[in-house]
Chain A
Amino acid sequence: AIRMTQSPSSLSASTGDRVTITCRASQGISSYLAWYQQKPGKAPKLLIYAASTLQSGVPSRFSGSGSGTDFTLTISCLQSEDFATYYCQQYYSYPLSFGGGTKVEIK
């Protein structure tokens, strides 16, 4: 099974900051990686798929990069509505797996 490791597990940032979250796969997954945003009490929302493709309707301040084993999610200019928990997910092979999550909190 492929293990996904996210870092950091939490971070504090201010509105307007640039935020970067990393995700590492225990083996190569090509570009079969997605990023999700989840707010309390809500279902996750797809932000990015295929490592770097922005899902329709997602603001352009979100971007993804990487391939193989190392990936990043960047929020270029943090907005108030971006405070949430972010998860990466590999869909290279079954069993599908998620990272442990990164909680982005207000500084």
Chain B
Amino acid sequence: EVQLVESGGGLVQPGGSLRLSCAASGFTFSSYDMHWVRQATGKGLEWVSAIGTAGDTYYPGSVKGRFTISRENAKNSLYLQMNSLRAEDTAVYYCARTKTSSTGEFDYWGQGTLVTVSS
């Protein structure tokens, strides 16, 4: 059974940093592109970052230069390092797996971890 379990969320002050983790199981982690998607309370979904099987990374303009996605295949783990956090980064952060290695539809999602940026 495919499982994705996020951790590392919490309360952080504006300008602070946080590192999210996503533990994957039930599939060959190294063979799949992985993503982070976030959702502010009562709002829609926003794609945050992606990492390919070769380690290539992608970000939208809203987080580029502040967030860094990485993976550790030996540990079946995905990470999101978030620096210079802003109030607008407050959201539930989901890790998600793409259905195939060459497309971007998400067939499995974690349960999410809440990040709150507030003083």
A50 to B107, CA, bound (A): 12
CB <8 Å contact, B47 and A34: no
Interface size class of B (residues with CB under 8 A): 20 to 34
Which positions 77-107 of chain A face chain B at CB distance < 8 Å? 87, 89, 91, 94-101
Which one of B35, B46, B106, B111 has the highest number of Cβ atoms from chain A below 10 Å of its Cβ? B106
Interface size on A, residues (CB 8 A): 23
Q: How far does the Cβ of B99 sit from chain A's closest Cβ, in whole Å?
A: 6
Residues of A within 8 A of B112 (CB): 43
Give the contacting residue for B44; candidates A55, A94, A96, A98; CB below 8 A: A98
Q: Does A28 contact B (CB under 8 A)?
A: no
Known: A32-B104, A34-B105. A95 touches B58 (CB 8 A): yes
Give A contacts to B, CB under 8 Å.
1, 32, 34, 36, 38, 43-46, 49-50, 55, 87, 89, 91, 94-101
The 3 tightest CB contacts between A and B, nearest first, are A91-B104, A43-B109, A34-B105
Given contacts A49-B105, A89-B104, A91-B103, 13 further A-B pairs with CB under 8 A are A1-B60, A32-B103, A32-B104, A34-B106, A43-B111, A44-B45, A44-B106, A49-B99, A49-B103, A89-B105, A94-B58, A96-B104, A101-B45
